[in-house]
Homo-oligomer: A and B are copies of this chain.
Amino acid sequence: MIALDEIDRRLLGMLVQDAGQSAGALGRRVGLSQPATWRRLRRLREAGILRGQRLRLEPGKLGFGVTVFLGVKLSRKAGVSLEAFERAVSGIPEVQRVEHVLGLYDYRLRVIARDLADFERVLRRRIMTLPGIGDVEANVLLTEERFPGPL
């Protein structure tokens, strides 16, 4: 793990608020030249701290109005491998995210669908037929907000 100084932390904080700022704009605010700032960003990238940027899409504008979180328990933990479950679930296009967790559930899934009828189709034909699936609990997303977190 690499050591971050004060300037690195300020750069990360500024980028969290708005990714896609140029090295020159960032450098002006921390008192560094453009190439020096850029070299710091490259160092953070090579250290694996900055992993690039993810697209922010608006699912509603693409016709996906429903987001559902599923908590799933596997029923036959001894018999079914986690790999088989993960491979099967990752083949469902409506599944956006698969989180392997420890606790009341074994997996948490984020699923999008065009509407509730479409979600029911996905649930019945794709989710409930997964190998080893047990109890399933669902929460429908109403609103969502993200925060930068402690840097």
Interface string of A1-28 (1 = CB under 8 A from B): 1101000000010011011100000000
| Chain B nearest CB, measured from A151 CB (Å) | 7
* Contact between B58 and A49, CB atoms less than 8 A apart: yes
Contact of A19 among B1, B52, B98 (CB under 8 A): B52
A57-B12 contact given A62-B151, A102-B140, A104-B139, CB 8 Å threshold: yes
**Interface residue tally for chain A (C-beta within 8 Å):** 59
CB contact under 8 A between A52 and B18, given known A12-B57, A47-B61, A98-B147: yes
Q: A31 on the interface (CB 8 Å rule)?
A: no
Indicate if the CB atoms of B54 and A149 lie closer than 8 Å.
no
A125 at the interface (CB under 8 A from B): no
Q: Which residues of B contact A146 (CB under 8 A)?
A: 54, 96-97
Q: Which residues 61-99 of A sit at the B interface, judged by CB distance below 8 A?
A: 61-64, 69, 71, 86, 90, 93-99
Pairwise interchain contact B61-A52, C-beta atoms closer than 8 A:
no
For A103, the closest partner residue in chain B by CB is B139
Q: B12 and A149: CB pair below 8 A?
A: no
Separation of A52 and B17 alpha carbons in the complex (Å): 11
The CA-CA distance from A4 to B58 in the complex, in Å, is: 14
Q: Closest CB-CB distance, A12 to chain B, in whole Å?
A: 7
A137-B97 in contact (CB<8A): no
Is the beta-carbon distance between B101 and A54 smaller than 8 angstroms?
Answer: no
